[in-house]
Amino acid sequence: MRSDLDEIPEHCTVEVAMEILGGRWKLAILRKLLDRTHRFGELMRAMHGVTQRMLTRQLRELEADGLVTRTVYREVPPKVEYSLTEAGRSLEKIVLLLDEWGEWYLDRARRPAHDQTGKSRG
Amino acid sequence: MRSDLDEIPEHCTVEVAMEILGGRWKLAILRKLLDRTHRFGELMRAMHGVTQRMLTRQLRELEADGLVTRTVYREVPPKVEYSLTEAGRSLEKIVLLLDEWGEWYLDRARRPAHDQTGKSRG
DNA sequence: CGGTATCCAATGCGATACTG
DNA sequence: CAGTATCGCATTGGATACCG
């Protein structure tokens, strides 16, 4: 799925971004990690609704795509920390804008739709 | 799919954005429409690889989400134009940033990986 | 604590054929 | 030209159980 990035033509590089960020929990993970490094369990609790399997898979994909670093501490009990790579951090602006937009959209969708032709946000 | 936006908790509004923008062709469509209004066939040719069915579906979803306007001209041969609503245009910055990021990422992934924090993908 | 393995449901998405 | 209908495969994601 992510192995044929080289074949994606120049005129749709947004798709490249979506290939990588399109997973259900990926943006939420990145947003969490923007604040600070998190342990697996912290992310688990923070995302509410994600399963272990899915969180693991999404984290592994982000790691494979070079956006997230996985650090294993061989102690008892085990401890694994996730943080952003430089590439991951390069998404900060986008992630925050998306978050902001989602909030705006939600708020807008909840209104009575009397003023929805005119947007009122910077 | 998009009907339960109200139940998405506050702490992950990025997910709201992804619910709406997550489709395979949606960002590419929005990027095209940022430039100007396009006819169905124009989009079809511009996206290279999309099927009529998928393009139709993605456009209808964008329309349902209030990001795209569909204008039908009852003439022969038929003509349908798609353009952005204000809500759609409010995504301009994000779409352009994503496009830019995808380009940067692609270029980075193609380099010899001498300076990459994350792993290279061949 | 932080995973894997296995099974299963939903749906995203593509191919093809047909239509006003 | 701009769709719709039908089919079917591949991927995504969830539930549950077990493991180092």
For the whole prediction, is pTM greater than 0.75? Answer: yes
Q: How many CB atoms lie within 10 A of CB A37?
A: 13
Judged by a CB distance cut-off of 8 A, whether residue A86 touches chain B is yes
**What pLDDT is stored for residue B111 in this prediction?**
78
Cβ-proximal residues to B80 (8 Å cutoff; 6+ apart), any chain: B39, B40, B70, B71, B72, B73
pLDDT tens over chain A, length 122 residues = 444 454 445 557 898 899 899 988 999 999 999 999 999 999 999 988 899 999 999 999 999 999 999 999 999 999 999 999 999 999 999 999 999 999 999 999 887 665 554 434 43
- Verify if strand D has an atom below 7 Å from the CB of B59: yes
A10: amino acid identity, one letter: E
Distance, in angstroms, between A49 CA and closest chain B CA?
A: 10
**What pLDDT is stored for residue B23 in this prediction?**
87
CB contact at 8 A, A91 and A67: yes
Distance, in angstroms, between B76 CA and closest chain A CA?
A: 31
Which residues does chain A have within 8 Å of residue B46's beta carbon, measured at their own beta carbons? 11
Helix axes A13-21, B26-35, angle to 10 degrees: 150
Judged by a CB distance cut-off of 8 A, whether residue A111 touches chain B is no
CB contact at 8 A, B22 and A22: yes
Give whole-number Cα distances, B28 to A35, A66, B3, B68, in Å: 30, 23, 23, 13
Domains of chain A by range and CATH?
3-110 (1.10.10.10)
CB contact at 8 A, B98 and B27: yes
Report CA(A1)–C1'(D14) in Å, whole number. Answer: 21
**What pLDDT is stored for residue A121 in this prediction?**
40
Which residues does chain A have within 8 Å of residue B8's beta carbon, measured at their own beta carbons? 106
B61: amino acid identity, one letter: E
**What pLDDT is stored for residue A24 in this prediction?**
87
> A48, B117: Cβ pair inside 8 Å?
no
pLDDT tens over chain B, length 122 residues = 444 454 445 557 898 899 899 988 999 999 999 999 999 999 999 988 899 999 999 999 999 999 999 999 999 999 999 999 999 999 999 999 999 999 999 999 887 665 554 444 32
- Verify if strand C has an atom below 7 Å from the CB of A4: no
| Percent of chain B residues topping a pLDDT of 90 | 65
What torsion, rounded to 10 degrees, do the Cα atoms A23, A25, A26, A32 define?
A: 170
Counting every residue written for chain B, the total comes to: 122
Counting every residue written for chain A, the total comes to: 122
> For residue range B65-95, what is the model confidence (pLDDT) as tens digits?
999 999 999 999 999 999 999 999 999 999 9
Report CA(A24)–C1'(C10) in Å, whole number. Answer: 14
